[in-house]
Amino acid sequence: MKLFGKKKETKSCCCGENCTSETMQNVENKKQEQGIKILGSGCAKCMELEKATRTAISELQIDYEIEHITDFAEIASYGVMSTPALVFNGEVISYGKVLTADEVKALLSK
């Protein structure tokens, strides 16, 4: 009688569903897109970060589109566990706090 056996392995992605390699590739391709992304559920903090980011890019006179991502599976694909998060050219540059417009300008200027 075996009390402790090898656990049956199941393959699933970060969202708990069985994603295909095509789905995972689409997510990876989307992460590599240039531009600015706000990751969050759409709460007040996320909207505040988006507003500060819009102010910062207008003051810096940068012509970037801002995309607000609310899909938790896509947010998790960035490795973000705490929102709101700010992504610039595929790299997470801030997460877990609301930045001011000046803080966003400093991060975007690097």
Q: Output the domain CATH number for residue 95.
A: 3.40.30.10
CA 96 to centroid of chain Cα atoms: 11
Residue 47 clears pLDDT 80, i.e. is over it: yes
Residue 43 annotated as catalytic:
yes
Under DSSP, is residue 110 helix (H, G, I), strand (E, B) or coil?
A: coil
pLDDT value, residue 36 = 94
The Cα–Cα gap between 38 and 94 comes to 10
pTM for this entry: 0.74
Q: Which of 13, 15, 19, 43 is catalytic?
A: 43
Contact 108, 62 (CB under 8 A): yes
The answer to whether 58 and 105 are in contact (CB under 8 A) is no
Active site residue 14: no
The residue segments making up the domain with residue 64 are 35-109
Residue 105 lies inside a defined structural domain of this protein: yes
Domain presence at residue 24: no
Looking at residue 34, its pLDDT comes to 81
Does the residue 62 lie in any domain? Answer: yes
Tell me whether strands 91-95 and 85-88 are parallel, antiparallel or unpaired.
antiparallel
How far apart CA 33 and CA 39 sit, in angstroms, is 14
